[in-house]
Amino acid sequence: MSEATGTSLHSICDHDYMSSEFQLLAEKVNQLAKLAHDLRNENAELRRQVKALTEENGTLNQRVDEAYARVVAVLDQLPVAPAPEAAESREEVA
């Protein structure tokens, strides 16, 4: 084998190795780009869910406040029972 032939074979091997390394790197970059894209989409969906749930939470809190106000209004209309001490002192007087 001549020195020139050995050098060219060595160059071909180096070229093939670098091509395969470059191909692996390109695949990893593509995977990373896809992952970033998927994460952006997931993040956008999660932001939509947070917004919807925050609005629903606000609506439910408002409904709880309204229900509380109605219960307070009903309780205010109920007659007040005499305190047990007051009832006993009236019985003693009679």
The tally of domains found in the chain comes to: 1
> Is position 84 within any domain?
no
Residue 80 half-sphere exposure toward CB, CA atoms < 13 A: 5
The answer as to whether 28 is a domain residue is yes
What is the residue range of 35's domain? Answer: 3-78
24 assigned to some structural domain: yes
User: Which band of pLDDT confidence, cut at 50, 70 and 90, is reported for residue 15?
Assistant: confident
DSSP 1: -
Count how many Cα atoms sit within 13 Å of the Cα of residue 58 in the half-sphere of its side chain. 6
Averaged pLDDT, 71-91: 81
Asked if residue 85 is part of any domain, the answer here is: no
Work out the mean pLDDT of the chain and round it to a whole number. Answer: 86
Residue-wise pLDDT for 39-77, tens only, equals: 999 999 999 999 999 999 999 999 999 999 999 999 999
| Residue 92 resides in a domain | no
How far apart, in Å, do the first and last CA atoms of the chain sit? 133
